[in-house]
Amino acid sequence: MLHWLCLAGAIVLEVAGTTSMKLAQGFSRPLPSVLLFVFYAASFALMTVAVKKIDMSVSYAIWSGVGTALIALIGFGWFKEPVTALKVLSIFLIVVGVVGLNVDAWRMR
């Protein structure tokens, strides 16, 4: 269970790091610029703990897929990026892929 919590934490920190990247505006804003490195480093540290017990193929797919979907939602909501049918479909397919990998991983146990 600890490893799954570490994976969830890694996802949250990765999303925070990517959001900080946008807020840093090309490293022109000091605080978000520093925070992006702090958040990514902490994310990688938690991910390292997670992959001790969770298959790499599953953990990385969840980390990157859920992170991508969350960042897209933040982009739509916070940064007012345009929402298109293709973007929504693509996010849906990412989620389906992550679920599929998890179902297969649980089935193999």
| Number of compact structural domains in the chain | 1
> What is the C-alpha separation between 77 and 81, in angstroms, rounded?
7
Q: 20 with 39: CB under 8 angstroms? A: yes
Q: Taking CA 43 as the corner, what is the angle to CA 47 and CA 45, rounded to the nearest 5 degrees?
A: 55
Digitized pLDDT (tens) for each residue of the chain, 109 residues in all? 999 999 999 999 999 999 999 999 999 999 999 999 999 999 999 999 999 999 898 899 899 999 999 999 999 999 999 999 999 999 999 989 888 887 876 776 6
Q: 55: which 2 tokens?
A: 């298959």
Instruction: Please give the residue range of the domain that contains residue 56.
Output: 2-108
User: Residues 69, 72, 78, 80: is their CA dihedral positive or negative?
Assistant: negative
- The reported pLDDT for the residue numbered 105 is 66
- The reported pLDDT for the residue numbered 109 is 66
Q: How many CB atoms lie within 10 A of CB 45?
A: 14
